[in-house]
Amino acid sequence: MRLTPINMAEAIIEPFWDPSLSGLAQWAVTPGAEHGLRLFQNWCWAQFEWARKPAAGPALQLSRACDLDCRDYDDLVLSVMAPEASSVRILVETDKGAVAFTAPPAPVLKKEHAVDLRGATRLRRITLELTAGAEGIAEGWFNWIGLRNRTQLARYLREWQRFDAAWDGYLRPDSFLPKFTPAYGLVVNSAELERLRQQHAAFVEQHGTSPYVEAGRAAAVTPPETLIGEYVNFWGDTRYNRERDHGRLLLVHGANAAVAGLLLRDPRLLRLAARYAMAIAMCRHWDDGMLCCFPDGNFDHRCFVQSLCAFDCGLILDLAGEYFTELGRDLILRRLAEEGLGNINYTSWRYEYIFHCNQLAWFTPGRMLAYLVLERHWQHVTPYTEIARRDLLESLDLAILPDGGYVEGPTYFRCVGRDGGLPLYFHARARGLDFVTSIPERMRRCADFAEALISTDDDQDVIPICDAAATHDLISQAVMSAALPGSAWSRMYRKAVAAAGGLPAPRPGTKPPAPMADAFLAWNLGAAGTDAAPPRAFVFLPEMGVMASTRRLGADSVKLLIQGNKAGAGHTHEDKGSFVLEFAGETFAMDPGTCDYSSPFAGIAKNCERHNMLIPCGLTERPQPEVPLPADVRPVGDGDAVRFRARIDVTPGWTGLYRRWVRSWDSPRPDILIITDEYELARGTGVDFCWITRRDVRVEGRRVLLRGYRGSVELELPPDVTARLEELPFHGGVTHRRLAIHRDGLAGTLQITVRLAGH
């Protein structure tokens, strides 16, 4: 172990987050094969999991000897994301004796547990123990171990408390009367703004308020000056920041205040937006934590936070530019160039892979907006703006499949619609071009992607396969609707606008702060008036490996999605051969999608047992196929407005578990579906046919009934199976229900008949 100071008060002695520096291999781990224990290096932590609660003792115990000078520090600190309700115990042996600490049951967020060293000057050994709090599969991770000096820490944190709302010399005073005119017209011009103001005023007159008004109020709750720190949080993500920074949300609010200030002609809100930009500029690092600025290492979280800071600051300089003095504006321009674009360019130069996935596009809205703002003030910037545009077009051409599919699922498709579309929108406005005609041909192939994944569930935009949420990004919908008018994108966008009350805004219930600047840009595109064609009965994306059927049963829709795989696809789950069934405005067989990546449930959601799969039973470890799967797994089938059938060989990826597994779906008409699994196990004692749902479930002998508001689904079970119903906890207190239909034996054919009926 080596002591590395990260500020005047704190030092790191075990950087678990960095695979090149982590000493994980030097820790002695107590074996736990009987309960399926694994401990391994993963991305930015040392990850652990166990398949079941052990019969006795801790689920995980590891220990390491050391001889480390700790005379300048008061506490040893462990940063850990422990499974909810589990217990963490830390034992520290020093030159003054042993000190033990036991934490209360673990909360939802990661914790920094401090152990008082009681005046010790040498560390001799550190032992960590986790005791399971609940039955079943659990995951978590260790972030780092460090030391702290309490007195020096208090002094260090006071460094960030030197600013107030006046911003003398940087911003115009409260008495300044702006003209409420955008500085550059990159986001919106004066004529467009006046049209939106009139529409917004009519909405407020009818409803008394609007999402834009409420977002402006929310932005004013916390003075932005109190949010200044050494780092900037990545929204609500807590994987990289310190516990003391949980909830310090500096981003998004400033952009929301700028939009609301312009719409309402409110000088207080417009100046508040400028204060947010100054607060961002005064943060020392546009990064989300010391992991990315560690003196001894080279780990980086790419440039996610830098691109967000660049986007917010560029947008605020445009919309609230009247409030900045030359000093304030130039300071932000410098931060955009050095901390923003410097880091974004470093990432784009260093990492070739980002051109082939979501990330290059993810970084480009901030990158493009920053360059276009700098162009207005500095010569010689323009060639770099054009490089950013060429990089984006290259990445879109690589990341979008020839059939218009996108392997990372619907949420990450925002990196095509939003993150590909917005830079082209800003660039077209700066160059006097037509935005719609500037959208590249690859983006115009994505109609089938939307048709396959658009949801018929009343409460969802999309079916959340892969690392996805059920709500799709509004500006992405608007951009794609503009590019492909009349497609499922237009249907999706109009549904989202209707759900928000008729004004483009995030769906009700969106976790605050809702990105109202994105909604404002979607609104300005005017795509809500685009007519949408009715759903297509059958869609197949052969490159992506996804197949979907949408039919009518009386007045209701029946949608079935079959999940295959493109070899090497990222952000995917252990779900090849899984399916989703929607009926009568609800989801009856669901995909869990994902949740906040800060939660271990984001990892658990990937597991095959959380999907509608056939799972091998009778193993010590948790059964799991390869992810990412290095093989193409594609369904074959056909369908029309009445019938649908599909078949898929799901054997690849299950080496050592399945010798063969083939699944088929046969639906001669919308009210009946027969699912057949033909299988042969390499190991195990039997299989569980898993059906995941949030609907009410009743098991009645050979019959299982799932009841919704407007329709019901009934499963008819064969005579040689047993059925059990399990409650699966999930992030945010949500519970999923798993119907596990068990059949003994190493091989066979399992057939489930599904009947649908409207109430």
228-253 confidence digits (pLDDT tens): 999 999 999 999 999 999 999 999 99
Contact predicate 238/598, CB 8 Å: yes
State phi, psi for 349 to the nearest 5 degrees.
-80, -40
Instruction: State the pLDDT at residue 528.
Output: 61
Write the DSSP assignment of 70-92 as a string of letters. -TT-SEEEEEEEPPTT-EEEEEE
Contact predicate 637/645, CB 8 Å: yes
Write the DSSP assignment of 96-145 as a string of letters. TEEEEEEPPSP-SS-EEEEEE-TT-SEEEEEEEEEE--SSS-EEEEEEEE
Please work out, in degrees rounded to the nearest 5, the angle formed at the alpha carbon of residue 252 by the alpha carbons of 247 and 253: 80
For the record, the structure tokens of 167 come out as: 């911003």
Distance CA 427, CA 389 (A): 8
527 pLDDT above the threshold of 80 = no
The SS3 of residue 711 is strand
pLDDT in tens, 169-207: 999 999 999 999 999 999 999 999 999 999 999 999 999
538 pLDDT above the threshold of 80 = yes
Residue % of the chain over a pLDDT of 70? 99
Contact predicate 471/461, CB 8 Å: yes
What integer is the mean pLDDT of 548-576? 97
For the record, the structure tokens of 218 come out as: 């929310």
**Closest listed residue to residue 74, CA positions, set 151, 137, 2:** 151
- For residue 245, give the DSSP letter: G
Instruction: State the pLDDT at residue 508.
Output: 83
**Closest listed residue to residue 238, CA positions, set 669, 733, 604, 599:** 599
Contact predicate 611/755, CB 8 Å: no
What integer is the mean pLDDT of 107-125? 97
Residue 75: C-alpha distances to residues 70, 129, 147, 243, 289 (Å): 9, 18, 6, 16, 20
Question: CA 611: distance to chain centroid?
Answer: 19
Instruction: State the pLDDT at residue 696.
Output: 97
Distance CA 430, CA 125 (A): 61
Three-state SS letters, 341-399: HHHHHHHHHHCHHHHHCCHHHHHHHHHHHHHHHHHCCCCCCHHHHHHHHHHHHHHHHHH
Distance CA 684, CA 615 (A): 10
Distance CA 385, CA 6 (A): 35
State phi, psi for 92 to the nearest 5 degrees.
-120, 120
Distance CA 208, CA 210 (A): 7
Tell me the HSE value of 291 on the side-chain side, using a 13 A CA sphere.
Answer: 27
Residue-wise over 488-510: b if at least 16 C-beta within 10 A, else e?
Answer: bbbbbbbbbbebbeebbbbbeeb
At 31, the amino acid letter reads P
Contact predicate 697/737, CB 8 Å: yes
Three-state SS letters, 584-609: CCEEEECCCCCCCCCCCHHHHCCCHH
Distance CA 271, CA 273 (A): 5
516-525 vs 211-219: helix axis angle to the nearest 10?
150
pTM of the model: 0.97
Write the DSSP assignment of 442-501 as a string of letters. GGGGTHHHHHHHB--STT-SB---SS--SSPPHHHHHHHHHHSTTSHHHHHHHHHHHHTT
State phi, psi for 444 to the nearest 5 degrees.
-80, 0
Contact predicate 572/559, CB 8 Å: no
The CA-to-CA distance between both ends of the chain, in Å, stands at 66
724 pLDDT above the threshold of 80 = yes
- For residue 150, give the DSSP letter: H
Task: Dihedral sign for Cα 402, 403, 404, 409, please.
Answer: negative
Instruction: State the pLDDT at residue 76.
Output: 98
Question: CA 134: distance to chain centroid?
Answer: 26
Residue-wise over 425-442: b if at least 16 C-beta within 10 A, else e?
Answer: bbbbbbeeeebeebbeeb
At 248, the amino acid letter reads R
What integer is the mean pLDDT of 558-568? 98
Task: Dihedral sign for Cα 563, 455, 615, 750, please.
Answer: negative
pLDDT in tens, 457-476: 999 999 999 999 999 999 99
530 pLDDT above the threshold of 80 = no
Looking at every residue in the chain, the average pLDDT score rounds to 97
pLDDT in tens, 45-83: 999 999 999 999 999 999 999 999 999 999 999 999 999
Q: Which helix (H) or strand (E) holds 68?
A: strand 60-69
Distance CA 518, CA 502 (A): 16
Q: Which residues are CB-contacts of 338 (< 8 A; sequence separation ≥ 6)?
A: none
Instruction: State the pLDDT at residue 531.
Output: 78
Contact predicate 614/577, CB 8 Å: yes
Instruction: State the pLDDT at residue 507.
Output: 86
State phi, psi for 499 to the nearest 5 degrees.
-65, -30
**Closest listed residue to residue 295, CA positions, set 15, 485, 41:** 15
State phi, psi for 677 to the nearest 5 degrees.
-115, 120
The pLDDT confidence band at residue 570, using thresholds 50, 70 and 90, is: very high
Residue 700: C-alpha distances to residues 115, 613, 697, 706, 756 (Å): 53, 22, 10, 11, 17
**Closest listed residue to residue 587, CA positions, set 703, 708, 467, 468:** 708
For the record, the structure tokens of 759 come out as: 């109430």
Q: Which residues are CB-contacts of 217 (< 8 A; sequence separation ≥ 6)?
A: none
What integer is the mean pLDDT of 574-603? 97
At 547, the amino acid letter reads M
529 pLDDT above the threshold of 70 = no
State phi, psi for 154 to the nearest 5 degrees.
-60, -40
Which domains, from first to last, does the chain contain?
A: 4-157 (2.60.120.260), 165-350 (no CATH), 354-534 (no CATH), 538-758 (2.70.98.70)
Task: Dihedral sign for Cα 268, 269, 272, 277, please.
Answer: negative
The pLDDT confidence band at residue 512, using thresholds 50, 70 and 90, is: confident
